[in-house]
């Protein structure tokens, strides 16, 4: 018997039910529960195939992507991109700092979105991350960030509120490609 949208437990209840689950499973459940699209990729080849499918299905034509490694993926599948965020970008392809298992959120910094405010990102965001970037909670992620040299402009996004500072834009689609290290 499936639950209707109204009967689904909220994120807090779901997180409590999953408290003893493996971090990657817990993160995946909470991320998808909040509206994100989770894609596990065993290797870079599978990540490339998944990225290509997302770009085709979502009819993405121009991507904001300034990370050199990610641009290599876009080059392979012949997808146009720009190093600066423009009005022509219908998607962003970015990395992240950490994935927060506690609530299924994704931590971003200046390293991932440059000097742009997260609310300016396009309505389709594709994030590439690795399993080792999963942190149990925000405190653990912040301690790791601090140890690594404190990047600027920390923010977080989730499937239900991909634009943390701009809740009016609720049509945002957040895709995660989680790659095995």
Q: What is the largest CA-CA distance in the chain?
A: 49
- Supply the pTM of this predicted model: 0.86
Domains in the chain (CATH in brackets) are 9-179 (3.40.50.10420)
The model's pLDDT over 79-98, given as tens digits with 9 standing for 90+, comes to 999 999 999 999 999 999 99
Cα(39)–Cα(73) distance, integer angstroms: 16
The model's pLDDT over 137-148, given as tens digits with 9 standing for 90+, comes to 999 999 999 898
Cα(109)–Cα(107) distance, integer angstroms: 7
Phi and psi, residue 116, nearest 5°: -80, 145
pLDDT confidence of residue 166:
45
Edge-to-edge order in the sheet of strand 155-157: 134-135, 98-100, 105-108, 155-157
Average pLDDT, the chain: 87
Share of the chain above pLDDT 90, in %: 66
């Amino acid at each position: 018997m499936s639950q209707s949208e109204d009967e689904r437990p909220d994120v807090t209840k779901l997180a409590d039910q999953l408290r003893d689950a493996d971090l990657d499973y817990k993160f995946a459940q909470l991320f998808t529960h909040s509206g994100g699209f989770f894609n596990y990729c065993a290797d870079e080849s599978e990540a490339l195939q998944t990225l290509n499918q997302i770009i085709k299905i979502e009819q993405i034509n121009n991507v904001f992507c300034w990370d050199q490694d990610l641009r290599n993926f876009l080059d392979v599948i012949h997808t146009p991109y720009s190093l600066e965020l423009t009005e022509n970008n219908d998607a962003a392809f970015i990395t992240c700092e950490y994935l927060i298992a506690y609530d299924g959120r994704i931590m971003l910094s200046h390293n991932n979105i440059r000097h742009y405010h997260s609310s300016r990102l396009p309505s389709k965001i594709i994030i590439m991350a690795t399993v080792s970037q999963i942190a149990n909670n925000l405190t653990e992620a912040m301690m790791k960030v601090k140890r690594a040299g404190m990047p600027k402009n920390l923010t977080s996004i989730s499937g239900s509120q991909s634009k943390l500072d701009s809740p009016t834009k609720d049509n945002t689609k957040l895709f995660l490609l989680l790659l095995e290290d």
